[in-house]
Copies of this chain bind each other. A is one copy, B any other.
Amino acid sequence: MPKKTDTRDRVLRTAATLFRAQGYHATGLNQVLAEGGAPKGSLYFHFPGGKEQLAVEALQLSAAEFGQELRTAGSLDGALKVLGDRLEASGFRDGCPVATVALDVASESDQIRAACESAYAMWERMIADALTARNVPNANDLAPVILAMIEGALLRARTQRSTAPLQQVGAYLKSLG
């Protein structure tokens, strides 16, 4: 029996967008429902685990799509550009889809924290693979550092309302060869 409606998907995508920009606590279920065009009954029918389940699934969705986006971008440099463009286009709201929720909830819900961590682990592996493919030595040691750089730059870019941090990281990576 395939799904008959797209309500579940709509709500999930709306939630992912809002969590990304505002974090977990700042995003109310009512807001998700209003923007997603669904009533409460539907939410708890599709997500009996409530807000927490919604967050975990939204994080998984975001992580997968984000990974896909980066893969499409090809190079690290291309990825930084994509991130910068998106940030700018959204008025510096859409940064890392995981970081905001991660910090917000890290010490509260282990399920959500775990979902965030597995997203990071996946991206780290992607970076390591990309480096290996380019015959960079010590790819596995370098990957977490590069991921940290990018995450840090995304964070800073949001508070600074400028893509400069991303460009600085980009320039640095280029200088490494």
| A-to-B contact residues, CB < 8 Å | 21-26, 91-93, 95, 98-100, 102-108, 113, 116-117, 120, 141-142, 144-145, 147-153, 155-156, 158-161, 164-165, 168-169, 171-172
Contact = CB atoms under 8 A, between A and B. Distances in A.
Given A148-B165, A149-B152, A156-B151, A21 B107 contact: yes
Contacts of A113: 159, 161
A16 to B, nearest CB: 16
Q: A interface, by DSSP: helix, strand, loop or mixed?
A: helix
A125 B113 CA distance: 32
A25 B104 contact: yes
Given A117-B160, A156-B120, A156-B147, A171 B141 contact: yes
A160 B102 CA distance: 10
A12 B141 CA distance: 40
Contacts of A149: 145, 148-149, 152
Contacts of A151: 148, 151-152, 155-156
B152 A168 contact: no
Contacts of A105: 26
A116 B93 CA distance: 15
Contacts of A117: 159-160
Nearest to A143: B168
Given A147-B156, A148-B149, A103 B104 contact: yes
A106 B159 contact: yes
Contacts of A164: 144
Contact of A148 (B107, B116, B153): B153
Contact of A93 (B21, B22, B107, B120): B107
Contact of A22 (B91, B108, B147, B169): B108
